[in-house]
């Protein structure tokens, strides 16, 4: 009889143990939910980092484009200045030549032209 009572008591304990097993199952969705939340936070952080990186690249590209534009404007200004200087020098040389011609004409006495024979 002691064996029968021991078997019945062991069966009750075993039944009680199996009855509590499903109670631990709801913890699994909580763990999955926490993992999903962590994965979502990681994805959000990665997206934010990528966005910041792209924004920094765009800012750098814009600064480089602005610098290239400034260089082009400076080169165009330099060419215009060079052309202006060249035109001014040409004008000055022309004036000097005119003065030389006038001085030569004034220095030469007017001689009567001899008729051609």
Q: Taking 90 as the threshold, does the pLDDT of residue 82 lie above it?
A: yes
**pLDDT, average across residues 3-30:** 75
Give the confidence band of 94 by pLDDT, cuts at 50, 70, 90: very high
Distance, in Å, from the CA atom of 43 to the CA atom of 28, rounded to the nearest integer, reads 22
Would you state the pLDDT for residue 15?
Answer: 83
CB-count burial class (<10 Å; 0-12, 13-18, 19+) for 30: exposed
Give the confidence band of 87 by pLDDT, cuts at 50, 70, 90: very high
In degrees, rounded to 5, the angle at the alpha carbon of residue 105 between the alpha carbons of residues 102 and 111 is: 165
Q: Taking 70 as the threshold, does the pLDDT of residue 103 lie above it?
A: yes
Distance, in Å, from the CA atom of 117 to the CA atom of 113, rounded to the nearest integer, reads 12
Q: pTM for the full model? A: 0.42
Euclidean distance between the first and the last CA atom of the chain, given in angstroms as a whole number = 173
Pick from 4-8, 9-13, 44-48: least confident: 9-13
DSSP code per residue over 28-55? HHHHHHHHHHHHHHHHHHHHHHHHHHHH
Query: Of 81, 76, 35, nearest to 68 (Cα)?
Result: 76
Torsional class of 54: left (φ above 0), alpha (ψ -120 to 50), beta (otherwise) = alpha
Give pLDDT tens digits for 26-63. Answer: 556 777 888 999 999 999 999 999 999 999 999 999 99
């Amino acid at each position: 009889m002691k064996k029968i009572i021991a078997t019945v008591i062991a069966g009750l304990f075993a039944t009680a143990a199996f009855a509590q097993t499903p109670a631990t199952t709801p913890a699994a969705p909580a763990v999955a939910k926490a993992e999903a939340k962590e994965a979502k936070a990681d994805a959000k952080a990665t997206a934010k980092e990528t966005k910041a990186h792209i924004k920094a690249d765009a800012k750098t590209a814009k600064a480089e484009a602005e610098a290239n534009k400034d260089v082009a404007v400076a080169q165009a200004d330099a060419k215009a200045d060079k052309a202006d200087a060249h035109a001014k020098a040409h004008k000055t040389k022309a004036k000097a030549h005119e003065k030389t011609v006038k001085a030569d004409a004034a220095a030469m006495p007017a001689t009567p032209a001899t008729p051609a024979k």
